[in-house]
Structure 1
Amino acid sequence: MKQVEGDLIALARDGQFNVIVHGCNCFHNMGGGIARIIAQTFPEALTADRATPKGDPAKLGTISQVTVACGAHRLTVVNAYTQFDYQGPGPLVDYDALSRAFRAVAQAHSGARIAYPMIGAGLAGGDWARIAPLIDTALDGLDHTLVTLP
């Protein structure tokens, strides 16, 4: 896992990455954290999320995605279903679902430059020390980068 400081969205729009992954709940709610920013910046990502069954626990560990034009290049935004709900006592992240979702990302984007925030460790209340090795294992051998805010 590489790590850089910066704005994930800006770096992706500038062509540093061609796939970005963010954690989602199963209820089509992208109202907080980076999910809100992604939904505002790339409304197609919210449309892709809403094309999945609302509130379906079977979505846990799966992904939906959309590819959008960013100037001269294309960017795929991956909605990774890493938590069932968006409210309630935490942590909300489902570690097994997170691992399965990143394995799905690895299968779908093996040749890509993949970037993500600290998925599951923000509003979802998960433990990054537990999450990082899950992502590293799932994306082993791939070009992937954690982007943290300065």
Structure 2
Amino acid sequence: MSGITYVRGDATVPSVKGVKIVAHVCNDIGGWGKGFVLAVSRRWPEPERAYRTWHRERASNDFALGALQLVRVERYVWVANMIGQRGVRTGSKGVPVRYEAIGTALGLLAGRATELNASVHMPRIGCGLAGGTWSRVEPLITERLVRRGVPVTVYDHGDGA
């Protein structure tokens, strides 16, 4: 078994007690406006604002593939902006997802989640607009988070309602 809990629902509304980190994958070109980020922005304005500032000031910070930005949005809730996607379109270099970058960001996330004693909540990261496959992302989550004792819940959207 993977050690990941799968539920139907909205990853922006984790229903567990304690500190929670809502994790998702961002691109490396400063684009925010399609996919899961829309749900994040509907709930909290801070992650988009922080991501855009992080990108704008990238000459003097760590903004790059594999980087992690944690943004506190509520007393017990953080959002993890993880740079795991090169650009936004499928082209000559294939789909935008970069598995190695997602793995690197998940490793950083594990450290922060451990420090905060937090659980991690996410959609099937890297598998929507980024074009990745869950069979390649799931082992990264298991290796980088679950094996380090971080509880992970993956949310699949329900059918309607």
The TM tier, using the shorter chain, reads 0.7 to 0.9
CA distance 1:113–1:21, shift in 2 (3 Å): same
| 3-state SS in 1 of match to 2:89 | coil
- Inter-partner Cα distance in structure 2 for 1:142 and 1:18: 11
Percent identity reads 29
Runs of 5+ unmatched residues, structure 2: none
CA distance 1:43–1:142, shift in 2 (3 Å): same
1:55 Cα deviation after fit:
10
Choose from 139, 144, 151 the match for 1:143: 151
- Inter-partner Cα distance in structure 2 for 1:68 and 1:58: 20
Runs of 5+ unmatched residues, structure 1: none
**What amino acid sits opposite 1:2 in the alignment?**
T
User: Which of the pair has more CA radius of gyration?
Assistant: 2
| 3-state SS in 2 of match to 1:52 | helix
The Cα offsets for residues 5-49 of structure 1, whole Å up to 9 and x where unpaired, read as 11111336x757611001100122121111122123211001111
Q: Which runs of 4+ in 1 moved over 3 A?
A: 14-17, 53-58
- Inter-partner Cα distance in structure 1 for 2:110 and 2:140: 12
- More moved, 83-92 vs 96-105: 83-92
Name the TM-score, length of structure 2 as normaliser: 0.81
| 2:14/2:121 contact within 8 Å kept | no
Alignment of 1:41-120 (within 5 A): 41-54=43-56, 59-69=64-74, 73-89=75-91, 90-110=94-114, 111-120=117-126
CA distance 1:66–1:58, shift in 2 (3 Å): closer
**What amino acid sits opposite 1:132 in the alignment?**
E
| 1:28/1:46 contact within 8 Å kept | no
- Inter-partner Cα distance in structure 2 for 1:75 and 1:100: 22
**What amino acid sits opposite 2:126 in the alignment?**
G
| 1:27/1:55 contact within 8 Å kept | no
Name the TM-score, length of structure 1 as normaliser: 0.87
